[in-house]
Copies of this chain bind each other. A is one copy, B any other.
Amino acid sequence: MTQAPAQDRGTRSRDAILDSAGELMSRRGYAATSISMISTACGLPVSSIYWHFGSKDGIYVAVLERARTALLAALPPAEVPGGCVEERLDTFLGEVEEAFRRHPRGVKLLLGLGMVQQDASAAAVAEVRRYRDALVAWARDSVSSVFALEGRCPEVADELARFTLRTASGTAVARWFEPDAALETGPLRVALLALAAHHGVPVRDAPGGGVRSPGLTPGE
C-alpha cells in the first residue's frame, strides 16, 4: 500500500495531464491552448508536464493517441448483427450515433487539430492520419457488413462509408453553431438505402431468395 501508489503516481499524473490537455485542446484548439493553461487545469507544474511529454507537440500526439485508442476500443465490431439489411443498418447507425454522442471530444480533436497540419510535426500529422484511417476502415467494414457486400464491391462500400463519415463530420461542425445538433440518423438512413439501391445493391433480403446480380452468394 505504500509502493503501489508511488508506482502509480507517474501514470496517474500522466493521465491527469492528458485529461486536461484533451479537454482544453478539443474546446479551444491546439494553438489556443497553452502549457500554463494545462498546468493550471490539472494542478501540476509546467515542468512535470515537460518531464512527461517533452514538448507541447508531444502532449498533442499523446492526447490524440489516447483519444484514438479509446474511441476504437469503444466501437463495436464491424460485423454488424441483424437479420436483414434494414435491421443491420439501424444497428450500425445506432452505434455511430452513440459513439458520436459519447466521444464528442475525440471527434472535435480530430476536426480541430486536423487544421493544424500546416505546421504540426510529422509525428502529429501521422497520428491524426492514423486516427482518421482507423475510423474510415471501421466505417467501410461496417457498411460492408450491413449491406452484405462481403468485399465484393469495394467502391460501393467506400462510397457509403465516406458518405456516412462526411455527414458525421458535417454534424460535428454544425454542433459548434448549435451545440444540441444531433447526428440525424433518419435522413442518413434514407440516404444510405437509396445510395445502395442506386448502385444495385439489394437492400431487401429476399427471404428464401438468392441474390440477383452476377454470381454472388446470399447475404445473411
* Interface positions of A (Cβ within 8 A of B): 27-32, 111-112, 114-119, 128-129, 132, 159, 162-163, 165-174, 176-177, 184, 187, 190-191, 193-195, 198
Contacts and interface: CB of A to CB of B under 8 A. Distances in A.
B28 A119 contact: yes
Query: How many copies of this chain does one complex carry?
Result: 2
Contact of A31 (B29, B174, B177): B29
A126 B193 CA distance: 38
Between A129, A168, A191, the greatest number of chain B beta carbons within 10 A of the residue's beta carbon is seen for A191
Contacts of A129: 177
A166 B163 contact: no
A202 B18 CA distance: 53
Contacts of A171: 166, 170
Interface of A, secondary structure class, is: helix
A177 B116 contact: no
A168 to B, nearest CB: 7
Nearest to A112: B115
Contacts of A112: 115
Contacts of A198: 190
A132 B177 CA distance: 9
Contact of A27 (B27, B30, B118, B165): B118
Given A32-B118, A114-B173, 6 more contacts: A27-B118, A32-B116, A169-B174, A170-B173, A173-B173, A191-B194
A167 B198 CA distance: 18
27 contacts: A27-B118, A28-B31, A28-B115, A29-B116, A32-B119, A111-B115, A112-B115, A115-B176, A162-B184, A163-B191, A165-B170, A166-B166, A166-B167, A166-B171, A167-B170, A169-B169, A169-B170, A170-B170, A170-B171, A172-B173, A187-B191, A190-B194, A190-B198, A191-B191, A191-B194, A194-B194, A194-B195
A118 B31 CA distance: 13
Contact of A170 (B29, B168, B191): B168
